[in-house]
Amino acid sequence: MPATGIPAPTATAVDSNTDADRLGATAAFVRDQDTSVLLSRVLPGLDGPDLRALTDRCAFAHAAVLVFPTDEHSLRAQLAACGLSPEVSAQPSVVVRDRLAARHHRNPADLDVRILRPTVRGPGGEHRAVEVFALTVPPGSALRGIAEEERRLDREAHLAFDVAHPDPLVLRGLLAGFARHGATADGGGYNPHEDGTVFYFTAPVGTKTPYRRVELYARGDHRDVLAEHLAEPFTAASAPRHPGDPQAAESLLRLLTGAWTTQALTACARLRLPEAMSRHTGAGVHELARAVDAHPESLATLLRYLAMLDVVTEGPDGYRLTGVGALLAAETPGSMRPLALMYGGPFYQSFAHLTHTVRSGLPAFDHFFGENHFDHFAADPELAALFDQSMVSSAPIFDALPAHPVLAAAAASPGRPRTVVDIAGGTGELLGRILTDHPALRGVLLERPQVLAAARDHLAGTGVGERCAYHAGDFADVPDGGDVYVLSRVLHDWDDDRCRSILASCSAAMPRHADLLVVERLLPADGGSSLATAWDLHMMCNTGGRERTADHYARLFEECGLVLVGHSPLALGAHTLHARRA
């Protein structure tokens, strides 16, 4: 009988182990196991007919490890160093992404978790794999804390058994067998990218392997059995239903009322309800109604809806803001109030004409307001200021950007101070962050004349104004001679022809040594769910622009004399694309 134990990295060992060490230990473990022996070690007391029944219906398939490479190249190098194929393809991981998001209170769209399954052989030549979950964490990334905690606790490390012929009866029998021997349900999910259902267990206290999580994997969609495993109702939200199913109708009704949610949040912001709740902690409806000049019964209805959305909570002592609701207060750091006013205001009005856009290919905003949104905002200083503030509301996108290797290298270059040129950089939120983090750099902000006054005030207030120059102009006026050029959330405003014009201006202005950093949301190449998918609809409706895949941007760069070097994730579903002159 083969030996059973090159141990997997445990929580106590992970701190001193690199990702490469953990990959190597996991690969060795997978190569060494016998299914029957391993099952008896995972579930102490499992023997005789029960052991034979489980062994007949499932086979040890893989052990999993979660790693945090700095980029794709380093991950492939680590695989090769462990004797694993670096050429294996990667797929999105829905289950682990959602587990990490819930554990660390993150938006799932911000966590680009991939699965790679390099193959190995078992002691009898069995076809097995090391299941590698990879979350890219570039140097300085805001995700670094997640990586440190997950390496230390190793919560995604698990053993997996593939279920042969996974019909519902077999699956229910296997789940019952694991439960009888002390394993407890610990989540699971259906991955549409590979059409497979996973059932997770926590191993019993007496388990004799270092792994504390066990997975049963069944090909196909088994969300009905999964719902029983999770002790959750099987609803229309979790599986396809026939059109007459009442749960399907309820699910569609919830989708159709999304507009009500937008307006409820906007009303909350317009009424300054979060500010009133901060001043009157635990206030009741009548006190809040007096504070915001509202009709008490109508405000009570709005508050009940906001409580359902987890924007406020109601207790014996009145209403209080949640962390979500606090973001609608104007003075909260990172306030998203301007976004609520924009999405519930002009953009809400234009979205009522989305059908016009889909039929004509022309922006609904132009159709409704009679002009494009840039001209419309420019003619209304108050609205223009709100739009600029709404762009600042998404500033968490920028948290990791100043640590990008291109900026770090520019700041460390000897000789003359290096210059960062921020093209259409708004009021200078991003440029200010870059210059604050890198005192050796200088900045140039290219913007419309009416925006530069606010930009001067903002950058002076952050203490970097003396290192900035200000250029009034448009995309035809890109200053030459810079070292790093930045285009943040610009290209998605435009169609491909206009993007080529903008990129050509950048390419013409860039010296041979210069770098271009483009910040955009990237559409997933596999068509999976993402914030970029939602913003793609928004840009189409309101600006005539679009979100794009990395490959699409690479083609645009190439057509303008640039080459895509690589891209790395940022918060809120964004990425930094790094390009240079070809």
Cβ neighbours for 234, distance < 8 A, ≥ 6 positions apart: 223, 224, 227, 228
Distance from C-alpha of 218 to C-alpha of 196, rounded to nearest angstrom = 6
Q: What is the DSSP letter of 571?
A: S
Q: Which residue has the tokens 């049963």?
A: 216
Q: Which of 492, 538, 575, 578 is catalytic?
A: 492
- The span from the CA of 115 to the CA of 25, in Å, is 18
Contacts of 316 (CB under 8 A, 6+ apart): none
DSSP 8-state symbol, 186: E
- 103 — phi, psi (to 5°)? -65, -35
Strands (E), 139-183: 158-163
- Distance CA(446)–CA(520), nearest Å, equals 18
8-state DSSP, 137: -
**Which amino acid does the sequence have at 468?**
C
Q: What is the DSSP string of 265-318?
A: HHHHHHTTHHHHHHHSTT--HHHHHHHHT--HHHHHHHHHHHHHTTSEEEETTE
Residues 6+ apart with CB under 8 A from 548: 491, 492, 520, 522, 523, 556
Q: Which two tokens stand for residue 91?
A: 């797929």
Strands (E) in 141-231, as ranges, are 158-163, 184-191, 196-202, 213-219
User: Three-class SS string for 89-128?
Assistant: CEEECHHHHHHHHHHHCCCHHHCCEEEECCEEECCCCCEE
Residues 6+ apart with CB under 8 A from 184: 201, 202, 204
Q: Quick check: is 492 catalytic? A: yes
Q: Are strands 419-423 and 484-488 parallel, antiparallel or unpaired?
A: parallel
Gyration radius from the chain CA atoms: 27
Q: Which residues, other chains included, contact 255 with Cβ-Cβ below 8 Å and sequence gap of 6+?
A: none
Instruction: Please choose, from the candidates 515, 573, 534, 538, the residue with its C-alpha nearest in 3D space to the C-alpha of residue 397.
Output: 573
Residue 165 vs residues 35, 58, 137, 170, 218: alpha-carbon distances, Å: 17, 9, 38, 8, 8
Q: Where are the beta strands (DSSP E) in 355-436?
A: 419-423
Rounded Cα–Cα distance for residues 199 and 203 (Å)? 13
Instruction: Give the catalytic positions in this structure.
Output: 492
